[in-house]
Amino acid sequence: MLIRSLTLATLLAVAGPLFAADNDTPLAQELGRNRPLIVIAPSSIDPTLVSLKKSLAEPANSQAFKEHSMVLYTVVNLMGQRDGKDLDAQTTMALIRELKLGVSGETKVILVGKDGEKKLDHLGPIEAKDIFATIDQLPAAEKEAVPPAPPPVEATPTKGKKGGKAGKAEKPAAPPQPLDD
């Protein structure tokens, strides 16, 4: 019994970080599709956050926001939103961890490119036109980034019998034998 426990503990110790790294973080889901604009503010009445949201609500800026394939993430007092829809606490924490942010009392505006790299990291107020200008200056390779292809799924061949009925279930496998220590 001790050997089984040690084997299981070793497998979990090795495989645990691999499974944790495989989680879909918010920015990983946007990779190749959108440019996340993340605003981290200490309060919902922060002047930088309020002015940026107001600026992005204007019709011309709203259209440019969509044309540049952007999504807006806001984190206020550890409460996250993506384009106005609330994120759960785990997703918000994953976003903060992924950005590797330190503690700061100021509002931070971060633009992440389609390639997943930070393109703009700004403290304090910023205008929407400055954000769009940053995107327009990006190299063409980043502008044309495409999402990574999902890994191919291999189909498992089924054993078919000659003259057998299609869809007939095969005999279930025998249960595994218990191991002796």
Residue 145 is which amino acid?
A: A
In this structure, are strands 70-76 and 35-41 parallel, antiparallel, or unpaired? parallel
In a domain, 181, yes or no: no
In a domain, 129, yes or no: yes
Number of domains in the chain: 1
Query: Under a CB-based contact definition with an 8 Å cutoff, are residues 103 and 40 in contact?
Result: no
Distance CA 25, CA 49 (A): 23
Helix (H) or strand (E) holding 85, with range, is strand 85-86
In a domain, 49, yes or no: yes
Mean pLDDT by 10 residues, the chain (181 residues): 68 57 72 89 89 91 90 89 89 87 79 88 86 83 54 55 57 75 60
Q: What pLDDT sits at residue 172? A: 73
In a domain, 47, yes or no: yes
Q: What pLDDT sits at residue 74? A: 92
In a domain, 164, yes or no: no
Q: What pLDDT sits at residue 22? A: 46
Give me the CATH number covering residue 111. 3.40.30.10
Structural domain boundaries, residue 102: 23-138
In a domain, 125, yes or no: yes
In a domain, 177, yes or no: no
Q: What pLDDT sits at residue 63? A: 92
In a domain, 27, yes or no: yes
Query: Under a CB-based contact definition with an 8 Å cutoff, are residues 71 and 83 in contact?
Result: yes
